[in-house]
Each structure stands twice: as C-alpha cells, then as structure tokens.
Structure 1
C-alpha cells in the first residue's frame, strides 16, 4: 500500500524538475541579454568608436534588449512556463542570430573588425541560448 502512495508522488516531483533546464536557459538569457542591453545603453559613447556601431543604433538596440530581457524574466518566473511564449523567445533568438551574421556579411553597420567579431560572437551566443531553450522545452 505504501508503494502505491509513493508512486503517486514521484511523477509530481519529476514533473517539477522537467522544466529545470528550460528555466536555467531562460535565466541565462535574461542575464546575458540584460547585461548586453544595459551595456549598450551605459557604454554607448565608448562602444561607438570601439565597435564602430553608431549611437543611433546602440541606443534602440540597448532599449530593445533590456525590455526583452525583462519579458524573458517574467516568462521564466511563471509557475507553469508558457510553451507559446518560450516558442516566441526561441524564434526571436534564432532570428537575432541569423540577422547578426547577415548584418556582418552585408556590412550593414560599417562596424570595425572588433565590432564585426562582437556581432558574430553575440549571434553565436544567442543561437546557443535558443538551442538550449529548445532542448529544455522538449524536455517539459
């Protein structure tokens, strides 16, 4: 009789842990994206010459990334993570990664060599976040 009662509680514990990878990936996204967004806003005048990306680009990107990070934080803090919201996050991360590489390939921002390297690196990190989130979503 005891084993039947315990068997009923095991899935609940397993279910609570099934989203741990996804939560980790979302929180990592919040930290990295938030730091990046705040960095673009706080250090824009320094990054302007270093990366070669104009202030007119850095400020809107910084605002977008900061707001996006706050939204991902809200999604990650829900008791039951919304699968649709996570799908949107993954899609946006993939789009960001692709657009990062395309931006460098087309020289759209006329960035410095370091700036182009940073844009590609950032795109790769964002792609990795999206991949990790996808795996976490599949495990739910």
Structure 2
C-alpha cells in the first residue's frame, strides 16, 4: 500500500477508524514477517547473512507481537496507553535494528538493505499511529 493510498484512507475516515486501520496494517505486515522468519529461517538466513536461530527467535517475537497488535486493532476503541506502547515499541524496534546493523550484525548486502527498509517501515507505522492517535484525541477526548 502506497503512502498516497494511506494518506487517502486517513482523509476519508474518522480518526478512530484510521487508528484501527494503521494498527491492523502493522499487525498484518509484522505477522507476515514473523511467519516468514519462522517458516523459512534457513533460506532467509542465508539470503540475509543472518543466523537462522536469530531469525527463528525474532519470528516468534514478531508473531506474538503481531497477534497482540491485531487484538488491539480489533477493539472498537483501542486504549490510548496500549496504542502508545505499540508506538514506543515500534520506535525502539526501528532504532535497535539500525544499532544492531551498525554494531554487531554483519549481514549480506541484501540483509543490510532489508534491515534498513524494515526499520523505516516500522518507524513509519509508529508515525502514522501517533498521528492517528493525536487526531482521535483531538476530536473526542
């Protein structure tokens, strides 16, 4: 989904719906990533130049996180505190991904590109969720 499409969704719906959509999109993308790491940790590890055991562990964490974010997105009105927690976790994940790349990971070129891209996507989710939460609070809290 492009940024233009996401921006269109944001303008076309009420802030509550937009927030739930951004949470749901986060859950779907994170869940797909986690499942890929769980199911194909060997081939993905070779492609990305990352230990398959690390990918298995990350896959489990991401799958569980995606389930929690999906549950939050399914609520009629997700609580502000849990949404803020998702935003903070997403920002921390993005930052730690870049730190890991700079400090201790030695991935392949594909792995380095993947790490940066996924960090940007996760940070983007955090920004979109933050803006949607602020918009919701401005209209109803």
Length-normalised TM-score, structure 1: 0.85
Match of 1:30 in 2: 27
5+ long unaligned stretches in structure 2: 1-12, 137-141
5+ long unaligned stretches in structure 1: 1-15
What is the CA-CA distance between 1:105 and the residue it aligns to? 1.4
How far does the alpha carbon of each residue in 1:1-51 deviate from its partner, in whole angstroms, 9 at most, with x for none? xxxxxxxxxxxxxxx933111111101101110000000011111011110
Does 2:91 match 1:94?
Answer: yes
The correspondence for 1:48, drawn from 29, 45, 48, is 45
Match of 2:7 in 1: none
The correspondence for 1:115, drawn from 111, 114, 126, is 111
Does 2:55 match 1:58?
Answer: yes
The correspondence for 2:128, drawn from 124, 129, 132, is 132
Q: Distance in 1 between matches of 2:78 and 2:117?
A: 29
CA-based RMSD? 1.2
SS in 1 for 2:18: helix
Size of the aligned set, in residue pairs, is 124
Q: Distance in 2 between matches of 1:35 and 1:20?
A: 22
Match of 2:18 in 1: 21
Large movers: runs of 4+ above 4 Å: none
Match of 2:6 in 1: none
SS in 1 for 2:124: helix
